[in-house]
Amino acid sequence: MNTTAHPDTVLIIDFGSQVTQLIARRVREAGVYSEIVPFQLASDAFRRIAPRAVILSGSPASTIDIDSPRAPQEIFEAGIPVLGICYGQQTMCAQLGGKVESGHHREFGRAFLDVDEESALFEGVWPKGTRHQVWMSHGDRVTALPEGFRVVGTSTGAPFAAIADEKRRFYAVQFHPEVVHTPDGARLLANFVHNIADLEGNWTMAAYREQAIAAIRAQVGDGRVICALSGGVDSSVAAVLIHEAIGERLTCIFVDHGLLRKDEGEQVVQMYREHYNIPLVHVRAEERFLAALEGEADPEKKRKTIGRLFIEVFEEEAAKLAEAGKPADFLAQGTLYPDVIESVSFTGGPSVTIKSHHNVGGLPERMKMQLVEPLRELFKDEVRVLGRELGLPDHFIERHPFPGPGLAIRCPGPVSRDKLDILREADAIYLDEIRKAGLYNAIWQAFAVLLPVQTVGVMGDGRTYEFVCALRAVTSVDGMTADFYHYDMDFLGRAATRIINEVRGINRVVYDVTSKPPGTIEWE
């Protein structure tokens, strides 16, 4: 997965836990680069990456079952530190000669760990003889330790809740240190990567910038790149980074597909042509996209239709550049690490359908182009830090994320120009009220949705039969998990009143309080 060389990498082997991504985030927050690989590909990744340490994730599986996931045996023979978490502890013990059983006392949710012995994992955080809140999620438990291990922590349902083999630098815990419900968990993971694995913590955006530029130059050589510019933060940061690497051999292509927020197309063109010296091709393709989407209600088919048309547009623009003596050898796009994670079915689950508007699985062979994805290793918040490192203005960096398919998926059911115009106006008013209330930067993502439902209402002296508008706002750090924003009713009242009064076609507004827990398949 990684496009640049990271000599101090922590490899995270994913056994299917809903919170594996949080392990990667915590390790990176400690200043150390981490990479997730599914257990099926772990052997190849271990040899390719040559990590300095390995973390084994949790899993919904049971080590008791035949053919349950296992870690590559070579990681236990490589002389590097290994940390097992939950299922990771169980498979570590099972593979090294210990014993795991089911049917004992289960623990799900908040529990308390008693620290019975000193340990490098707990050093400076949890002293011997203290008790601490942790988050448990297990039915099976270790009942016999492999040779060389000792118990350092216990809980009501796990007599071996934390274990250590200092000689081999193997550590394991039954609880989940990566989640916020284990208050000091991030500090434990920092202990593992810094004190046990002896990694310095030099994963910074300044260092990444230099590495990424070198990697782009090595990949592209003397070739030319066209960048799929959406106008959002991700593709814009990718474009500025690539331009810094190869200069005028980059051409940005902005496809104005008619599915953007109000006035967004004009803003994108103005910003790039007035503030950045990057060649920009503005393709006005609204009619083409709307014609292809006419009558289509299935959201996945909408995504694939939009993705297909994007590819067609780029093929056409690439041909025009070739005719002008500037043939493009590479296509760049702002794919992020969550896109990669969610677009690869690590454990055979449904996540393979995620981000189908991104070409994370590659491009059609007929394009004869290679993908350049310089942000492929980064989480959303890391992209924003990189954007600041590159000099992009804060007001742009802090913009709320906008999906590749645009308003097409925020307008469930068939898409039409009239419905998109209604949605655009409602969305603009909603965001305007958020800014006026000083809430924009406190909210990770906010947007309006035009529901495929019409209701009877009374406005003034007449009856109406118009659409219902749903408002959504969530808080998040990395885009992997989210919770709804807790507005007060005064704000919701102001926003709803303006939308109903100013947008013809909407007579009712509702607020969506859906959250995105770890592992939820989709969040747009």
Alpha-carbon distance of 111 to 181, in angstroms, equals 10
Q: Give yes or no: 86 in active site.
A: yes
Alpha-carbon distance of 54 to 77, in angstroms, equals 12
- Is-contact 114 131, C-beta < 8 A? yes
Catalytic residue among 6, 35, 86, 257: 86
For 365, residues 6+ apart whose C-beta sits below 8 A from its C-beta are none
Neighbours of 125 (CB within 10 A): 17
Q: Give yes or no: 227 in active site.
A: no
Write out 438-483 in H/E/C secondary structure.
CCHHHCCEEEEEEEEEEEEEEECCEEEEEEEEEEEEEECCCCCCEE
Catalytic residue among 178, 377, 382, 524: 178
Alpha-carbon distance of 230 to 372, in angstroms, equals 15
Residues linked to residue 151 through DSSP beta bridges, in sequence order: 163
Q: Give yes or no: 286 in active site.
A: no
Alpha-carbon distance of 377 to 222, in angstroms, equals 24
Alpha-carbon distance of 265 to 355, in angstroms, equals 22
- Is-contact 88 172, C-beta < 8 A? yes
What is the identity of the amino acid at 427?
D
- The structure tokens 């216990």 sit at 154
- Is-contact 171 189, C-beta < 8 A? no
- Is-contact 57 23, C-beta < 8 A? yes
Catalytic residue among 132, 138, 176, 400: 176
**Alpha carbon 317 to chain centroid, angstroms:** 30
Report the catalytic residues: 86, 176, 178
